Amino acid sequence: MFPKTTLASLALSLFAVEGAYVGARSGILIPFESPGTSTRDNGIFDYRQAIVEAHYTRNKHLDNLITFDCNARRITSDECADVELPSAPFFKRQGLLLANPNDSQYPAVISIGSDSQNFTVIFDTGSSDLWVSNANGCDDCKGYQAYNSANSSSSHAVDGTFKIQYGGGATASGPIFTDTVDLGGWLVVNQTFAAVTQRTGFPYINGVLGMAYPSLSKLGAPPFIQNLLAQKFIPTDEFAFKFSPPNPHTLFGAINPGLFNGSIEYRTVNTSLGYWQLGGGSLLSGSDVVFSGLETIFDTGTDFIYGPADQVKAFYDHIAGSQLYDGTYGLYTIPCSAIPQVAFQWDGGAAWKVTQTSFNLGETQSGSGQCIGAIAGSDFGFGNNVWFVGRRFLINIYSIFSFANNLIGFATLKDPPP
């Protein structure tokens, strides 16, 4: 049997040939499965989850930096493959890198292949490639959803190898394919992606659907959202995120004005590093401007807000009662009874709050009275004023990302989180 969407998509591709827009006018809505965070259900901070995520996020961005250089300098992939990453001190704690893929992140389902193989992947504005695990030849992939190319009649192998190389011997690598990807019932044909056969140091992730700019892509092929646009499933290559309940989701090709109040604050993205990046950022604690002139990179693939270690230390020096909790991972405690009111602001725009509930990652242990703050210090190699802003910020707003106009938009949620 054909998957039920096949006939519709055949009809759609006929229209597409004639140049008419044929897709989802109100966008393609993909619900997130299980909102995940570094706070346990009982309100206690999940240290293991936090450091797993710290490893993953740091490595992802270190690797992006290399990819960007390789792409920008147009050196051969062989030369790029020889780049050695500095060994990360983080990897001394490998034993901690085993975690349940469902514990963190906001995964959502796509399916790949003529036989609709399902994957819960992370929709990640902090990277640009689509990759999943491989059902064939991968000892590391046990327990993860994995792609079996032999089961899909639309699968084609592509020359070359995809490799994410991390410090300390962690890698994800494997062959490249093209196949059909089903996103909410819309069948994107000929999507290039990798199915990794080695995935050391990639805990808890079934796969990633990258949503940053093509200059961070290792696959050298159109990223997913560009195919959605080229195949006329969406009228424009913008997407929106709503992380807060009810109904957390991402929406491709449209925004939903029913979910926010007032106007959207749009800002032009600095695409020079291939990220969704805004300069002119300020970090506020109460009414104090702690820093201004920050470069901020929006990363939906992380729960945290990461800043350079020195700046993060200086930030917590501002917060009464704060203490260093873990120097390796740049974690700090604050009194649970006095969580600061933190906000980001760009070039004199509105102060977008990180609510106290969002800022609080949980009590260190029951009854300690000390809670972990969502801002963590970690040097990703991007310089001393570059911040990576994850979901603890984004959950407070309706966020819009427009490739077409190189804009990021912020709007006030009608249903804001506590």
Active site residues: 124, 299
Taking CA atoms, 387 is separated from 232, 276, 310, in Å, by 35, 12, 12
Rounded Cα gap, residues 58 and 212, in angstroms: 16
- By CB under 6 A, the residues from 147 to 166 that bind ligand NAG are 148, 151
Q: Is the peptide bond before 246 cis (omega within 30 degrees of 0)?
A: yes
Amino acid (one-letter) located at 78: D
Tokens representing 223? Answer: 């990223």
Number of residues that bind ligand NAG (CB under 6 A): 26
Q: Which stretch binds ligand NAG (CB under 6 A): 21-29, 95-103, 167-175, 282-290?
A: 95-103
Binder to ligand NAG among 185, 279, 335, 349 (CB under 6 A)?
279
Site string for ligand NAG, 282-301 (x = CB under 6 A): -------------x------
Rounded Cα gap, residues 410 and 399, in angstroms: 5
Q: Would you give the DSSP letter of residue 312?
A: H
Element (H, E) at 254: none
> Phi and psi of 179, rounded to 5°?
-165, 175
Binder to ligand NAG among 102, 247, 384, 405 (CB under 6 A)?
102
Residue 276 or 316 with smaller CB distance to ligand NAG: 276
Rounded Cα gap, residues 162 and 195, in angstroms: 8
Binder to ligand NAG among 22, 66, 122, 135 (CB under 6 A)?
135
Instruction: Compute the least distance from the CB of residue 180 to ligand NAG, in Å.
Output: 11
Strand partners, 344: 283, 352
Instruction: Compute the least distance from the CB of residue 53 to ligand NAG, in Å.
Output: 17
Query: CB–CB of 104/32 below 8 Å?
Result: no
272 is a site residue for ligand NAG (CB under 6 A): yes
Q: Considering only CA atoms, which of 412, 384, 44, 372 is closest in space to residue 262?
A: 412
Binder to ligand NAG among 77, 94, 136, 178 (CB under 6 A)?
178
Element (H, E) at 340: none
Q: Considering only CA atoms, which of 248, 343, 320 is closest in space to residue 37?
A: 248
Q: Which stretch binds ligand NAG (CB under 6 A): 45-53, 97-105, 124-132, 314-322?
A: 97-105
Strand 375-377 to strand 352-354: parallel, antiparallel, or no bridges (unpaired)?
A: unpaired
356 is a site residue for ligand NAG (CB under 6 A): no
Site string for ligand NAG, 104-123 (x = CB under 6 A): -------x---xxxx-----
Q: Is 244 helix (H, G, I), strand (E, B) or coil?
A: coil
Site string for ligand NAG, 182-211 (x = CB under 6 A): --------x-x-------------------
Site string for ligand NAG, 316-335 (x = CB under 6 A): --------------------
Instruction: Compute the least distance from the CB of residue 192 to ligand NAG, in Å.
Output: 6
Binder to ligand NAG among 26, 100, 328, 357 (CB under 6 A)?
100
Task: Give the start-end residues of each E strand in 286-322.
Answer: 288-298, 305-307
Binder to ligand NAG among 51, 110, 221, 361 (CB under 6 A)?
221
Amino acid (one-letter) located at 80: C
Residues in touch with ligand NAG (CB under 6 A):
100-102, 111, 115-118, 135, 148, 151, 178, 190, 192, 221-222, 261, 270, 272-273, 279, 295, 386, 412, 414, 416
